[in-house]
């Protein structure tokens, strides 16, 4: 975020020109110092060398970025302690305007657009693959390679914001205590000092048993006080939880948002649709892992629901063969959350219009499978 000061009384045209100038100047400087991808969509930029890259040589008449239709006015830096001077326009009585030193000032904020993509890599047997570099992957954002890759790392210690959502409908009554035990054991193993978690039950209504905390005793008490009974409103619960708990998180640094849903997936009471729930998870940048409580030999519609939700958000669905395997699902999720990668990049042709932008990420080595969110929603312009 860049902040500059300009006189409040400048006309709307100059405000627009100034903001465009700053954006263009910042983007030009960033690209000059960043590794940029080749025209091929099959690879990301190579890792930077040990020495800082040299700035791109500036030609006598630098070309404007391809998305800019009109040449913005050059950004002029004002002397320290003084606001930028208001430009004079032919035909306007600029000479009679009050001095800029006497005017109040305001702040124009220029948004820097970055995408932080968390993803997992496994081999064909489902084993986690670590130690890969950014040149081992190909990325398309809305069908185009990114303008620049800013950071790439293996995020084994990124702070977690985890929600445990337990289906408390009457259909899982006989299995509920084992699910509670497995969830408590998971929290005991996964939570570190900078992590936080919450516990929620849901049937036809959602029951926030314990809000975000790092206190295991409080989380334990929250899980134990949940009681099964009623129908299942899975989509409603998922929609509201991502909207109210994950989307509203205010964090100073990067965190990893994840929901673990333990359910049979048979929704019979929601007003929201499955697509509504998935979109809200994507807006909240939340990975959803699901553990099915359907241990019958035959699979039903609920299993496909759980799989679809997980795959769309970059998570994974687990289908235990017996109820004791629910704990195995929790352990697999625990391992995955500590074996993921983080890729921060600047997308091409980015517009703050609230539209959905697709993500296509693959490993160049065909032995590896990448699991990531299918996309994200661009933010809307700040008023």
Q: What is the CATH number of the domain that holds 235?
A: 3.40.50.410
Mean per-residue pLDDT, 196-201: 98
Whether 193 and 103 map to the same domain: the answer is no
Whether 219 and 97 map to the same domain: the answer is no
Any domain includes 141: no
Residue 134, pLDDT score: 94
Q: What value, to the nearest 5°, has the Cα angle with vertex 309 and ends 303 and 310?
A: 90
Query: What is the overall mean pLDDT for the chain?
Result: 78
Domain boundary among 92, 110, 128: 110
Whether 188 and 104 map to the same domain: the answer is no
Whether 94 and 193 map to the same domain: the answer is no
Whether 218 and 96 map to the same domain: the answer is no
Whether 193 and 323 map to the same domain: the answer is yes
Any domain includes 105: yes
Helix, strand or coil, per DSSP, at residue 256: strand
Q: What percent of the chain is modeled with pLDDT above 90?
A: 58
Any domain includes 362: no
Whether 220 and 330 map to the same domain: the answer is yes
Helices (H) and strands (E) in the chain, counts: 7, 15
Any domain includes 197: yes
**282, 375 Cβ separation under 8 angstroms:** yes
Mean per-residue pLDDT, 283-287: 95
Q: Which of 26-40, 103-117, 195-209 has the lowest mean pLDDT?
A: 26-40
Whether 94 and 227 map to the same domain: the answer is no
Nearest to 139 by CA among 124, 150, 129: 150
Whether 72 and 14 map to the same domain: the answer is yes
Highest mean pLDDT among 77-81, 88-92, 228-232: 228-232
- Which carries the bigger pLDDT value, residue 331 or residue 53? 331
Q: Which of 109-113, 201-205, 218-222, 256-260 has the lowest mean pLDDT?
A: 109-113
Residue 295, pLDDT score: 83
pLDDT band at residue 173 under the 50/70/90 scheme: confident
Q: Looking at 145-286, which runs of residues are DSSP E strands?
A: 148-154, 160-167, 196-202, 206-213, 256-263
How many Å apart are CA 149 and CA 155, to the nearest integer? 16
Any domain includes 342: no
The tokens for 310 are 């997980």
Whether 78 and 10 map to the same domain: the answer is yes
State the residue range of the domain holding 19. 2-49+64-110
Any domain includes 85: yes
Q: Which of 9-23, 284-298, 322-336 has the lowest mean pLDDT?
A: 9-23
Total domain count for the chain?
2
Whether 327 and 185 map to the same domain: the answer is yes
pLDDT band at residue 174 under the 50/70/90 scheme: confident
Distance of CA 57 to the CA centre of its chain: 35
Whether 235 and 332 map to the same domain: the answer is yes
Give, in order, the Cα–Cα distances in Å from 226 to each of 81, 147, 211, 223.
60, 48, 14, 6
How many Å apart are CA 279 and CA 226, to the nearest integer? 28
Predicted confidence (pLDDT) at residue 146 exceeds the cutoff of 50: yes
Residue 95, pLDDT score: 42
Q: What percent of the chain is modeled with pLDDT above 70?
A: 70
Any domain includes 117: no
- The alpha-carbon radius of gyration of the chain (Å, integer) is 25
Mean per-residue pLDDT, 105-122: 71
Any domain includes 91: yes
Q: Whole-model pTM?
A: 0.70
CB within 8 Å of 140: residues ≥ 6 apart:
41, 358, 359, 360, 361
Residue 64, pLDDT score: 41
Residue 103, pLDDT score: 45
pLDDT band at residue 171 under the 50/70/90 scheme: confident
The helix (H) or strand (E) run that includes residue 362 is strand 356-363
Predicted confidence (pLDDT) at residue 336 exceeds the cutoff of 80: yes
Neighbours of 333 (CB within 10 A): 21
């Amino acid at each position: 975020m860049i902040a500059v000061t300009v006189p409040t009384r400048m006309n709307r045209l100059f405000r627009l020109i100034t903001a465009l100038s700053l954006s263009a100047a910042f983007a030009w400087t960033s690209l000059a110092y960043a590794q940029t991808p080749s025209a091929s969509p099959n690879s990301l930029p190579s890792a930077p060398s040990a020495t800082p890259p040299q700035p791109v040589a500036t030609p006598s008449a630098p070309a404007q970025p391809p998305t800019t239709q009109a040449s913005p006015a050059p950004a002029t830096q004002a002397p320290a302690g003084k606001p930028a001077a208001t430009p004079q326009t032919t035909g306007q009585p600029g000479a009679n305007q009050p001095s800029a030193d006497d005017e109040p000032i305001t702040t124009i904020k220029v948004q820097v657009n970055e995408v932080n993509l968390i993803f997992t890599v496994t081999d064909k047997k489902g084993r986690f693959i670590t130690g890969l570099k950014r040149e081992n992957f190909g990325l398309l954002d809305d069908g185009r390679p990114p303008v620049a890759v800013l950071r790439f790392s293996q995020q084994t210690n990124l702070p977690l914001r985890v929600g445990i959502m337990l289906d408390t409908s009457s259909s899982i009554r006989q299995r509920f205590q084992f699910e509670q035990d497995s969830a408590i054991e998971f929290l005991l193993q996964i939570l570190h000092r900078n992590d936080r978690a919450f516990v929620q039950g849901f049937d036809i209504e959602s029951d926030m048993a314990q809000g975000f905390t790092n206190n295991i005793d409080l989380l334990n008490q929250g899980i134990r006080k949940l009681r099964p009974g009623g129908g299942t409103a899975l989509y409603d619960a998922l929609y509201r939880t991502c909207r109210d708990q994950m989307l509203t998180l205010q964090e100073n640094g990067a965190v990893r948002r994840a929901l673990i849903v333990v359910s049979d997936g048979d929704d019979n009471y929601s007003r929201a649709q499955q697509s509504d729930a998935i979109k809200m998870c994507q807006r909240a940048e939340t990975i959803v892992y699901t553990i099915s409580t359907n241990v019958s030999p035959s699979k039903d519609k609920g299993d496909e629901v759980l799989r679809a939700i997980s795959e769309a958000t970059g998570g994974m669905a687990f289908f235990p063969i017996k109820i004791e395997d629910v704990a195995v699902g929790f352990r697999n999720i625990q391992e995955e959350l500590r074996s993921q990668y983080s890729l921060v990049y600047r997308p091409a042709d980015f517009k703050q219009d609230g539209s959905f932008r697709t993500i296509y990420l693959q490993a160049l080595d065909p032995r590896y499978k990448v699991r990531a969110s299918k996309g994200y929603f661009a933010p809307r312009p700040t008023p």
